[in-house]
């Protein structure tokens, strides 16, 4: 279900979320239009992710339940893992700089992949369509 290439189509409350994350206004404006594209490839418990945006391109491998490191485009480092609960990927990550939690989920609904984000009481979504 997750497999394939997804490009962001719209955001819901993403600017407020980034503000809560401490990202400055200039970067928020750029990040709101980052043309994020992700390619997901699942093999059993393992996922390969290709991420590309106007900021960078990178590839990530993770295994469900196994902690890995991930850096945001602004350099903020996270550590955490994804698990699969039913049809939903649930990510629990911790910011290395302040120890606070960032929760994220991915679910495919119809022709959309919906990624939710939650940090310090602010929730947001990014909605992707197949590229
Ligand atoms: C992946 O599966 O794509 C790699 C791991 C993703 C970790 C969590 C991503 C949270 C991104 C938050 C963006 C916040 C921008 C302020």
- pTM of the predicted structure, to 2 decimals: 0.97
Q: What is the pLDDT of residues 62-92, one digit of tens each?
A: 999 999 999 999 999 999 999 999 999 999 9
Mean pLDDT of the chain: 97
Per DSSP, the three-state class of 1 is coil
ipTM of the assembly?
0.94
**Where residue 47 falls among pLDDT bands split at 50, 70, 90?**
very high
- Distance between CA 66 and CA 38 in Å, rounded? 20
Q: What is the pLDDT of residues 85-126, one digit of tens each?
A: 999 999 999 999 999 999 999 999 999 999 999 999 999 999
pLDDT of residue 10: 98
pLDDT of residue 118: 98
pLDDT of residue 125: 98
Pairing type for strands 101-109 and 88-95 reads antiparallel
pLDDT of residue 13: 98
Closest listed residue to residue 115, CA positions, set 107, 1, 35, 123:
107
Task: List, chain by chain if needed, residues with CB within 6 Å of any ligand 1 atom.
Answer: 18, 21, 23, 49, 51, 60, 70, 72, 78, 91, 93, 102, 104, 117
Q: Which amino acid residue places its CA nearest to atom 11 of ligand 1?
A: 72
């Amino acid at each position: 279900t997750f497999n394939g290439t997804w490009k962001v189509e719209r955001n819901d409350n993403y600017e407020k979320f980034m503000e809560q994350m401490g990202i400055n206004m200039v970067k928020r404006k750029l990040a709101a239009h980052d043309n994020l594209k992700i390619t997901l490839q699942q093999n059993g418990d393992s996922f390969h992710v290709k991420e590309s945006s106007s900021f960078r391109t990178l590839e990530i491998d993770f295994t469900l339940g196994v902690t890995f490191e991930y850096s945001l485009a602004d350099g903020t480092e996270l550590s955490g893992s994804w698990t699969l609960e039913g049809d939903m990927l649930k990510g629990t990550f911790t910011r290395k700089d302040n120890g606070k939690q960032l929760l994220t989920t991915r679910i495919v609904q119809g022709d959309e992949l919906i990624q939710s984000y939650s940090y310090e009481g602010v929730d947001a979504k990014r909605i992707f369509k197949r590229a």
